[in-house]
Amino acid sequence: MFLRSGLVLILIAGRAGAAEPPDFAHDVAPILYRSCSGCHRPGESGPFPLLSYADAKKRAAQLAAVTRSRYMPPWLPEHGYGDFEGERRLTDAEIRVLSEWAAAGAPQGPESVLPEAPRFTSGWQLGTPDLVLESLSAFTAPAAGADVYWNFVLKPGITSARYVRAVEIRPGNRNVVHHANLLVDRAGASHLRETTSGQGFPGMDLEIMRSPFDPPGHFLFWKPGSVPHEEPPGFVWRLDPSDELVLNVHMHPSGKPEPVRPAIGLYFSDQPPTRFPLLVELENDEALDIPPGASDFLAKDDFRLPLDVDALGIYPHAHDLGKRLEAYATLPDGSRKWLIRIPDWDPAWQAVYYYREPVFLPKDTVISMRFHYDNSAGNPRNPNQPPKRVRAGNQTTDEMSALWLELLPRGAGDRRRELEEAVLRHNLERNPADFTANLNLGAVLLSRLHAAAAVSALQKAVAAAPGRADAHNMLGLALGFVGRTAESIAEFETAVRLQPGYAAARFNLANAEIKAGRLQEAIANLRQLVAANPADPLPRKRLEEILNRQ
């Protein structure tokens, strides 16, 4: 037995050396089945299948060329600068095998050792969803022209809150859909942007007003070849009956008009969340003013952590001028921990990357974003030849610098507000007049019982957007907390004048009027609320209390 085993080892060593060229059965099939067939199969984004020897043989030279240049398989992060799930990067040895196999005429090898081709789940990858939502109508992507961004509004139609453990996105037409992001609209107002109900609306960098007490905490993203991400126990997120889901879809024209009608599958859990991550964005779009010919333009941002966190995932984003994208953490002891490094950015293959194991980052760690841009004629992806000045914007011919991290604060309970307050203050250091940052900071400070500081932030929000009823309402609440009742009444009055149907502001106004002894005005406002919202018990109960007191 010993001699036979030794003989086998000698023969394998001979195969691996220069004596015999690689063949499909022994050497090439394992590489393709692990790293290529997931996309290169019927119904997926690869333009041809790679499931058999015949498939691979006719593409042997092409396989050697695209792997040698590392164009395929598409894996942007540099090895050793972050340990990510599902890494498809080929080793130097695997690339050499494909080149030598093609040069030798693509031999098949013995069928007896040919591994079984991978089997893929047909239909929904995670099994039958608990709820399927499909867009009410299709959007027709044009045959030519610039990239298209379209937003499909999906209404869940549920009757009670559900907890979502996974989302599977079906893009509707893989020939033209490049990637898609799913956003949760807690206000349920995205359908108001549609000119025709059910048809969706255009737009790339979609902004949805979010409550600072319910910030986004999960990546909901699709790209070709991606596997649906199932949240670990405790990481589910809540979906309410009044919520709307908006699927932001990026499309490339294919040369002919093509319909796109996406759908999503939702998978529910019976258990509420017990872990509360937060999506934290570093960016510096204000710095993006890239002169023509600049081959190494830098955009950077640094954020200091206010508490211990675990980094769960990362998503860097730039457009065609992006070249080298880096993110790293400088720990309190001065050492550096790499979060990601992409030496040759290609927006066609952008993705969310999940760490194989959570990356611990202690309090006072500084997270750094360093994005380098190439606006020279030597950049093959430069959309302008000759190069032109490029600034920040939402079109693909503009530029962006954004680094999203999914961070989980350590400690018991929901500690997102501590982290979010630091994020908002960081944003305001760069742009003190930022309406959204001031509004959300005021709300967070108010919730943490820092009312005087909340007044200052909310006054800046009102100054930045005096027509926003929600800002006046929030400022009224903060002023009431510090005893400035007359001023709070003035803010609530402004809010209901700007938005007469704003029930929360009118109820707050009535309560402030009661506190000021203006009972008849309070009664009139409460009666108006009861008439408009007879099912809401709160205004009715307050009205009865005042009438009984009289």
Whether residue 358 is predicted with pLDDT greater than 70 in this model: the reply is yes
pLDDT of residue 3: 36
| Residue 19 confidence class, pLDDT cut points 50, 70, 90 | low
Query: What is the pTM for the complete model shown?
Result: 0.85
| Residue 454 confidence class, pLDDT cut points 50, 70, 90 | very high
pLDDT of residue 2: 33
pLDDT tens, residue by residue, 244-254? 999 999 898 88
pLDDT tens, residue by residue, 59-84? 999 999 999 988 899 899 999 999 99
pLDDT tens, residue by residue, 292-305? 999 999 999 999 99
pLDDT tens, residue by residue, 414-443? 999 999 999 999 999 989 999 999 999 999
Q: Where does residue 331 rank: exposed (0-12), middle (13-18), buried (19+ CB within 10 A)?
A: middle
Whether residue 9 is predicted with pLDDT greater than 50 in this model: the reply is no
pLDDT of residue 132: 97
Whether residue 102 is predicted with pLDDT greater than 50 in this model: the reply is yes
pLDDT of residue 225: 73
Measure CA 22 to chain center.
41
| Domains, in order of start, for the chain | 2-113 (no CATH), 131-269 (2.60.120), 278-416 (2.60.120.230), 432-549 (1.25.40.10)
Please state which of the ranges 60-64, 68-72, 154-158, 281-285 shows the lowest mean pLDDT.
Answer: 68-72
Contact indicator for 291, 387 with CB cutoff of 8 Å: no
Question: What's the whole-number mean pLDDT along residues 122-131?
Answer: 90
Please state which of the ranges 12-21, 369-378, 462-471, 484-493 shows the lowest mean pLDDT.
Answer: 12-21
pLDDT, greater one: 365 or 212: 365
As a whole number, the mean pLDDT across the chain is 90
Question: What's the whole-number mean pLDDT along residues 354-375?
Answer: 98
| Residue 145 confidence class, pLDDT cut points 50, 70, 90 | confident
3-state secondary structure of 291: coil
What one-character-per-residue DSSP string does 344-382 give? S--GGG---EEEEEEEEE-TT-EEEEEEEE--STT-TT-
Degrees (nearest 5) of the Cα angle 43, 205, 328?
85
Residues of the chain above pLDDT 70, percent: 95
Judged by phi (left if over 0) then psi (alpha if -120 to 50, else beta), residue 434 lies in beta
Close Cβ partners of 537 (under 8 Å, ≥ 6 residues apart): none
Please state which of the ranges 175-189, 205-219, 329-343, 349-363 shows the lowest mean pLDDT.
Answer: 205-219
| Residue 205 confidence class, pLDDT cut points 50, 70, 90 | low
DSSP 28: I
